[in-house]
Amino acid sequence: MTPALGYPRAVTPRPLGTSWRAWAGIGASAGLLLLASIHRFAVGTLAGSLMAEFGATAVHLGVLASLYFYLYGAMQVPAGILADTLGPRRTLVASGVCLAVGAAVSASASDLGTAYVGRVLVGLGAAPIFVNSLRLLASWFDPARFATLLGLINGSGSVGNFLAGAPLAAAADSVGWRGAFTGIAALTVVVTAVAWILVRDRPAGDRHATPAESRLTLADVRAIAGNAEIWKALVIKAGLDSGLFLFFAVWAVPYLGHVYGLSRAAASTYVSVSVVGFALGAPLLGLVSDRVFMSRRIPLLLGSLAFALLWIVVLVPPRGSWGPALMGVITFAMGFAASSLLLTLSVARDNARPHTAGIATAFVNAGGFLSAAVFQVVGSAIMDLYWTGEMAAGVRVYPMAAFQAAFAACLVAAAVSVVVSFRLRERHGASAARPAFRGFR
C-alpha cells in the first residue's frame, strides 16, 4: 500500500513511546529549544534596561530583537538540509555551543555593536533546533500523529517563552540583566553536553531517512517552490508571526507600562500569560486538526480570524479598573489563537514528498520568521516617527498614537492570514478524504 503524501515511508511501524532513547533524545533537544526560546522574548522584557544601557532608540531596539529572527529565518532551509544530511545529533550540539557563546557575549556587551554580535550568535544557534527536533520525531515516532507531537514538542519552546516574561524580569531585578544572560549561557553548556550523550539520529538498524536517501535534486526544489499550498502556508504563518513577535517580543512590556502604568515585572506577566495560551493551544489545535476536523484549513481559519479580531481590541484598549484584568484575558486569547500557526508546518509536510519534508517545513518556518524580523524593524521605525521627544530616565517615551500606528500593521497582517487560510486546499494525507466531525479514531 502506497503511503499518503507527506508521511515518511518506513519499513515497519514504530510504536509511539516504546523506546526510552526516543524520549531521552527528544527531551534533550527540547531543553535546547527551551533555552533558545528564552532569547526570543528577552529583548522585549529587558527593553527598558537595554535602551538605558546603550542609549538605544526604538529602531535600535527593533534591530536588536530582529537579528534573532533574521538569522533564525535565513537558517531554516540550511537547517532542514542539515537535518536530512548531517543528522540531528551533531547539528543540535553545534547549535548549543553557538547559543552558549552568544549568550555569554550578550552578557558582557559594553556597547550596542557587541550586543548585536551576541544576538547574531544566539540566532545562529537557535535556528536549527526546532527543525532538527522535528527530524527526531520523524525518525523515532509514528508519523501518523505528527501534528499532535508537533504541538507537544513546541510546548518546551513555550516554556522558554514563558520564562522570558515574568521570571526573566524577576531574575534581571535580582542579579541584573547581565547576570541573567550569564546564567542562561551556563545552563546551555550543561544541556548541550546532555544532548551529545543522549541524542541519536535514528533507532539502531533503522535506515529510514538516511543521508544517502535524503539527497535533494533540482526537481525536489522545484516541486517545493512551485507548490501553491506550501506558499499559502508560508503567507499564513508570516501574517501571524509578524504581529505576534512585534508585540510580545518587543513592545508589549513598554505598551502595558504606558497604558496601565505597570512595572516591568508586572507587565512581563502578560507576556507569560500569552505564552500559556500558546502552549495550551498548540497541542489542542494539533489534536483537533488530526482527529476531529481531520483538516488543517478549518483550525487555521478560525485561529487567524480570532487573532485578527483580538488586534482590534488591542488598538482600543479597555479602560478603568477592569482594564488590566481584561488585558490578561486578551493576551491569553492572542497566544491561544496564534498557536494555530504551527499547523502551517503540517500543511507544508502534507504537501511535500516524504524525503523533502524537512526542507518544506523549514521553508515555511523561514518565511514566517523573516517576515517577523522585517516587521520588528518596520514597526519600531513607525514608533520613532511618532516620538514627541519625551524622555524618562534616559529612555524614550512613546505616545499612545505610536503604539496604535504600529499595531494597526499587525491587524492588516492577520487579516491577510485569514484570507489565505480561507483559500487553502486540503491535503492532509489519507485523512483529507474523510468527513469532518467524524470523531476520535
Ordered structural domains, the chain, with CATH: 21-202+226-433 (1.20.1250.20)
Average pLDDT over residues 140-166: 76
Average pLDDT over residues 43-59: 91
Report residue 152 as a C-alpha cell: 507537544
For the chain, percent of residues with pLDDT exceeding 90:
50
Contact 360, 350 (CB under 8 A): no
Average pLDDT, the chain: 84
Please tell me the predicted confidence (pLDDT) of residue 23. Answer: 76
Please tell me the predicted confidence (pLDDT) of residue 430. Answer: 39
Please tell me the predicted confidence (pLDDT) of residue 4. Answer: 35
Higher pLDDT, 392 or 167: 167
Contact 337, 282 (CB under 8 A): no
Amino acid at 137: L
Q: Model pTM?
A: 0.78
Cα atoms in the Cβ-side hemisphere of radius 13 Å centred on 104:
11
pLDDT band at residue 417 using 50, 70 and 90 as cut-offs: very high
For the chain, percent of residues with pLDDT exceeding 70:
87
* 180-194, 203-217, 255-269, 309-323, range with greatest mean pLDDT: 180-194
Residue 14 pLDDT > 70 = no
Read off the pLDDT of residues 93-103 as tens digits, 9 standing for 90 and up: 999 999 999 99
Q: Cα(170)–Cα(188) distance, rounded to whole angstroms?
A: 20
Helix, strand, coil fractions of the chain, as percent rounded to 5: 80, 0, 20
Please tell me the predicted confidence (pLDDT) of residue 87. Answer: 85
Average pLDDT over residues 190-215: 70
Q: Cα(122)–Cα(184) distance, rounded to whole angstroms?
A: 11
* 210-214, 340-344, 437-441, range with greatest mean pLDDT: 340-344
Please tell me the predicted confidence (pLDDT) of residue 337. Answer: 96
